[in-house]
């Protein structure tokens, strides 16, 4: 059954947006707003950092990622680990008219900033965690996630991807983009100095393919975008139950 049969007037926000609160949003992560590795926690400063980090190529890279996602007008998109909503807003423009994009992130600061700067009626945000998405099974046509997986403890990464699979409709697609570390030791040391930790310098993007397959996705294909981006795209089987 085509997803186009859903009521275009039914707001995705009413189905998926969680209440923003200063209390912990998940019992497994009592310090989500205290600068844990799970949350961005930077508000508007995160966008400044990202602009510098991509060396002026941020818009080009994320427009390419949006194209790779396969999203089209009318699609329902979920952006997992949306930060301040940069990619969510791009996806909202891609799926207009008739579509919608919803971003979730554990950081209340990031969500507050995302809402402050967003002027798109089809783009909404809510607080939540990747490994326990607050959405019904099959609620979305496209799930995207950018530069988020490496923030998760390794034990939660499989759960997060399994959740992305769950909330996709049969035949829906996922696109996960991640930081691709430099090949040289000097480059990795530089990244560690710039970021203050070694999670990005030692990011194992090669592990995404087996995690995607284990979750049940099929037809995975991957690629790279300069300067630092690796992505993988896959589909939920059309006959998935």
The count of other CB atoms within 10 Å of the CB of residue 119 is: 6
pLDDT on residue 71: 97
pLDDT on residue 23: 31
Which helix or strand (DSSP H or E) is residue 88 part of? helix 86-95
pLDDT on residue 61: 85
Do residues 154 and 131 lie in contact, with contact meaning Cβ atoms separated by under 8 Å?
no
What structural domains and CATH numbers belong to the chain? 35-183+192-226 (3.40.50.150)
Global pTM value: 0.74
pLDDT on residue 189: 56
- pLDDT single digits (tens) 147-172: 888 788 888 999 999 999 999 999 99
Do residues 21 and 30 lie in contact, with contact meaning Cβ atoms separated by under 8 Å?
no
Which residues are 178's β-sheet partners? Answer: 230
pLDDT on residue 21: 31
The count of other CB atoms within 10 Å of the CB of residue 14 is: 8
Which parts of the chain register pLDDT below 50?
A: 1-41, 184, 187-188, 201
Q: Judging by beta carbons within 10 Å of its beta carbon (0-12, 13-18, 19+), is residue 128 exposed, middle or buried?
A: buried
pLDDT on residue 10: 32
Give the Cα separation of 238 and 130 in Å (integer): 23
């Amino acid at each position: 059954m085509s997803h186009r049969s859903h009521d275009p007037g039914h707001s995705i926000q009413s189905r998926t947006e969680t209440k923003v609160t200063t209390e912990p949003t998940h019992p497994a992560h009592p310090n989500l707003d205290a600068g844990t590795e799970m949350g961005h926690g930077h508000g508007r400063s995160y966008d400044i950092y990202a602009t510098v980090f991509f060396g002026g190529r941020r818009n080009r890279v994320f427009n390419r990622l949006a194209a790779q996602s396969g999203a089209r007008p009318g699609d329902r998109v979920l952006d997992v680990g949306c930060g301040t909503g940069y990619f969510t807003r791009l996806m909202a423009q891609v799926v207009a008219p008739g579509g919608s994009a919803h971003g979730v992130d554990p950081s209340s600061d990031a969500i507050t900033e995302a809402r402050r700067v967003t002027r798109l009626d089809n783009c909404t945000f809510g607080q939540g965690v990747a490994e326990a998405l607050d959405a019904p099974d099959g609620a979305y046509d496209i799930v995207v996630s950018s530069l988020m997986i490496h923030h998760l403890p390794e034990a939660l990464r499989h759960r997060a991807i399994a959740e992305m699979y769950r909330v996709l409709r049969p035949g829906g697609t996922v696109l996960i983009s991640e930081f691709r570390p430099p090949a040289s030791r000097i480059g990795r040391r530089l990244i560690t100095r710039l970021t203050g930790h070694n999670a990005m310098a030692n990011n194992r993007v090669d592990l995404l393919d087996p995690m995607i397959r284990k979750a049940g996705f099929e037809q995975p294909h991957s690629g790279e975008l300069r300067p630092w981006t690796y992505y993988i795209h896959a589909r939920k089987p059309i006959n998935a139950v």
